[in-house]
Amino acid sequence: MSSAEPVPTDAAELRRLRAEARHVTGKATFAGDRDDPPGTLHLAIGRAPMSAGRISRLDLDEARKAAGVLAVLTAEDIPARRFWNAAGDLPLIASGEVGFHGEVVFLVVAGTREAARRAALLGRVGASPAIPLTDLDDALAHDATLQRDQVLSRGDAPAEIQRCDRRLIGQLRVGGPAHFDAEPHTAVAIPTEDGGLLVRASTEDAPAIRRAVAATLDLDMAAITVETGRIAGGAGSRRANSVQWATLAALAAFRTGQPCRLQLDRSDDLATNGGRPDFRISYAVGFTDTGLVKGVDLVFAGGCGRGIDGGPAMIDRAMLNADNAYFYPSFRIVGRSMRANNAPAGFYRGAGAEGVLAAERIMDHIAVSLGVDPLDVRKASIFTGAKDRSLAGLQTESSILGPLLNELERTSVYRKRRKDIAAFNQSSPILKKGIALVPLKYGVGSGADNDAAAAVAVEADGSIRVAHSGVEVGQGLDRRVRQVVASEFGLAMDRVVLADRGAPPASGPSSTDQVLLAAIDACRTIRAALHDFIEETMHVDRERVEFRDGQMKLGHRAMSFAELAGLAASARVKLAATGTHRTAEIDWDAEKATGRPFHYHTYAAACAEVTIDVMTGERRIDRVDILHDVGRPIDPAGDTALIEAGFMLGVGWLTTEEQLHDSAAMLTTGDALGYFVPTIADMPADFRVAFFQSGGNREETAFRSEDIADAAILPAIAVFCAIADAIGSLRPGTMPRLAAPATPEAVMRAIRALADGEV
């Protein structure tokens, strides 16, 4: 609202405008923005100076004597459990062995943040260095694994490949981007009157923090309360990674008896929070003269860093998504979780997208070898008819995938543009264009985020309060909850208010689907109580009652919902309820490779056109068309925004964001100056997003909608394939050795490899 505009007199409209203005004026508050209690102390971490070895001496005298310092804590100050992860191999504060450069070895507690940071620089760590495992290649050379290899198989893929007249082998390297969130990790721990702790943390997994804090301090979980509101970016770093920082803040508050805040600066955040695992994907494929795939043999080796965070789970998801949109009659897929002296890799948005990328690389490689349009190869093996079972045996919606791909082929004018691009490349020696159209399938819902709770309360004036176990990470969850609750009672959304606290706890992270269903469960309990009240006092059968447009249709009469709520409240009808939801069908056992890994699949297709400069490796995204099945959308505008934002996150993963380590396994992009996230300049010049009309999700979800937040990263794969297509135009019939991210340097390496005859 501008100062020249009149101030709305309607309270609901004023509340709506203020809520929307928070997000575009910087007034929305995040974990790091809340006011601290009086007497809050500040924390800073002391980091290991080497990547591997043992601590021989820890001299903290100068740090303890520094101005404003109240305490310096080490591993010896931890009362009980000294590991922050469930596997017990990631120390809260390292003592003895050091696993990566920057690992926490001590914690400074001071009166101000500046005093704590200055004192942290005064700590002296004496160490006996060891030879580190510098990266994924080094880990593979030494067979350094974190856990037993995982295997998925059907038939005898190696034998089937050998029987094929046409066979290919290849390798794809995929880098792991950092967690470059809008705010660094923040946690504030506040001692409570009863001897417990209130922890305010920027986290997606409050239950994990409660468990870790209780185990570390030897307290009952009931004594630990964790609060989190919206968080500024949650590509995955706010799951397990947040546990360490919240637990350190809790340790300091427990030891000092005062509120303590730990807020990492950007360099600490990048150095200590490992990003997405990097991958080395090896493949062999056997196929027919028409490009029909007969057998696939894949190995996903993922760099998990120092210990088990979310890395192994990311590798497991990559394996399960490795077929993407295609039926593999026989396959063998191996997942290897490799250990190196880097920060532990964790969860990241679009877990398993590496599997989809691998499938598309295979299709492109087949097309190049046959000299045919890659889209025709894709269509040859796409799920259809009886061939509709994914790698884990889950049925796919072949009736959606094929028509969706055909529709985008038509609306994107793919065939004509491919011909036009071929003509352009013939006449342009420096600038080369590429195009790719890819189908996309992604498994939604897993055992890791299959638990949610919601609390709903109808007030006497007909307004509604709701709290839930999910976390708003910029995906519009809070808005969708309000929409769903409002719809259940036939109200306008402004009558529903999100409460800051009061949600019943869940046992783990909550997905959008589960939160919405939990909220609906609570609403329907209240609706049942209102139906009973109406039947008893107004003698109207529930079949004749409607909740619509803020009114109650009671047979031939009507009253406002507010009036009904007032009458029910006066009669002491219980107008508050707790709802929960867990999808029982999700029971995947990664160790045994059995069960159902996903609730459902979501589908999309993307067409990308790019231009590259063969002299510099720079690229421009000219046009992107995305057609996405979102089921029956609850919030179409929100879904469009999710697709656009997820696409740009994927562009960063596959084209710009690269973490680099030196020969001592030290992160060289840890100061953020050499780390490049996508900007407005990376947006497609022509960006088109549309929804595929599928009729709704076939599985149980809120109003048959689909959770597309993680799948939204996948359309960026079309950009990577288009870049490879542009490079390939320099030497038709040869598959470029392009690695992800396709930075200008990676593009030039692929071009030089083509020139040198390397295939």
Same domain, 350 and 427: yes
- Whole-structure pTM value: 0.93
Integer Cα distance of 327 and 227 in angstroms: 45
DSSP assignment of 196-264: -EEEEE--S-HHHHHHHHHHHHT--GGGEEEE----S--SSTTSTHHHHHHHHHHHHHHHHSS-EEEE-
Buried b (16+ CB within 10 A) or exposed e, 78-94: beebbbbbeeeebbbbb
Same domain, 212 and 285: no
Provide the β-strand partners of residue 691: 628
Averaged pLDDT, 565-582: 95
Same domain, 100 and 87: yes
Each residue's pLDDT tens digit, 726-736: 999 999 999 99
Integer Cα distance of 140 and 149 in angstroms: 13
Residue whose tokens read 């990311």:
314
Q: How many domains does the chain have?
A: 4
Q: Which residue has the higher pLDDT, 471 or 459?
A: 459
The pLDDT score that the predictor gives to residue 14 is: 54
Contacts of 190 (CB under 8 A, 6+ apart): 37, 197, 198, 199, 200, 253, 259
Residue whose tokens read 């997994």:
205
Which amino acid, one-letter code, is at 35?
A: D
Integer Cα distance of 471 and 479 in angstroms: 12
In a domain, 524, yes or no: yes
Same domain, 468 and 572: yes
Statement: residue 190 has pLDDT above 60: yes
Band (392; pLDDT cuts 50, 70, 90):
confident
In a domain, 463, yes or no: yes
Q: Phi then psi for 677, rounded to 5 degrees?
A: -90, 155
Residue whose tokens read 């107008």:
575
Statement: residue 4 has pLDDT above 50: no
Statement: residue 682 has pLDDT above 90: yes
Residues 611, 612, 618, 624, CA torsion sign:
positive
Statement: residue 374 has pLDDT above 70: yes
The pLDDT score that the predictor gives to residue 313 is: 92
Q: At what angle do helices 374-381 and 353-370 cross, to 10 degrees?
A: 120
Statement: residue 556 has pLDDT above 90: no
Band (312; pLDDT cuts 50, 70, 90):
very high
Same domain, 110 and 227: yes
Q: Which residue has the higher pLDDT, 503 or 252?
A: 252
- Residues 146/105, Cβ–Cβ less than 8 Å: no
Band (667; pLDDT cuts 50, 70, 90):
confident
Residue whose tokens read 């939990």:
518
- Residues 175/302, Cβ–Cβ less than 8 Å: no
Contacts of 121 (CB under 8 A, 6+ apart): none
Each residue's pLDDT tens digit, 607-636: 999 999 999 999 999 999 999 999 999 999
Last residue of a domain, one of 581, 612, 635: 581
Averaged pLDDT, 331-360: 95
For residue 93, give the CATH number of its domain.
3.90.1170.50
Averaged pLDDT, 435-446: 93
Q: Which residue has the higher pLDDT, 7 or 289?
A: 289
For residue 456, give the CATH number of its domain.
3.30.365.10
- Sheet with 619-628: strands ordered across: 431-444, 600-613, 619-628, 686-691
Same domain, 322 and 348: yes
Last residue of a domain, one of 272, 304, 333: 272
Each residue's pLDDT tens digit, 101-120: 999 999 999 999 999 999 99
Averaged pLDDT, 433-446: 94
Task: Name the burial class of residue 540, with classes exposed (0-12), middle (13-18) and buried (19+) by CB atoms within 10 angstroms of its CB.
Answer: middle
Band (13; pLDDT cuts 50, 70, 90):
low
CA-based Rg of the chain, rounded to a whole angstrom? Answer: 27
Same domain, 11 and 52: no
Averaged pLDDT, 338-360: 95
Pairing of strands 69-73, 104-110: antiparallel
Averaged pLDDT, 221-250: 85
High-pLDDT (> 70) share of the chain, %: 94
Which amino acid, one-letter code, is at 112?
A: T
Last residue of a domain, one of 241, 272, 303: 272
Statement: residue 25 has pLDDT above 90: no
Q: Phi then psi for 707, rounded to 5 degrees?
A: -85, 110
- Residues 458/464, Cβ–Cβ less than 8 Å: yes
Each residue's pLDDT tens digit, 125-165: 998 999 999 999 999 999 999 999 999 999 999 999 999 99
In a domain, 708, yes or no: yes
Same domain, 711 and 607: yes
Domain boundaries, position 391 = 278-446+590-755
Same domain, 668 and 738: yes
Same domain, 432 and 291: yes
Q: Phi then psi for 385, rounded to 5 degrees?
A: 55, -125
The pLDDT score that the predictor gives to residue 759 is: 65
Same domain, 72 and 1: no
In a domain, 244, yes or no: yes
From 204-213, 266-275, 435-444, 708-717, the region with the lowest mean pLDDT: 266-275
Statement: residue 195 has pLDDT above 70: yes
What mean pLDDT is reported for the chain? Answer: 91
Statement: residue 8 has pLDDT above 60: no
Same domain, 440 and 376: yes
- Residues 366/380, Cβ–Cβ less than 8 Å: no
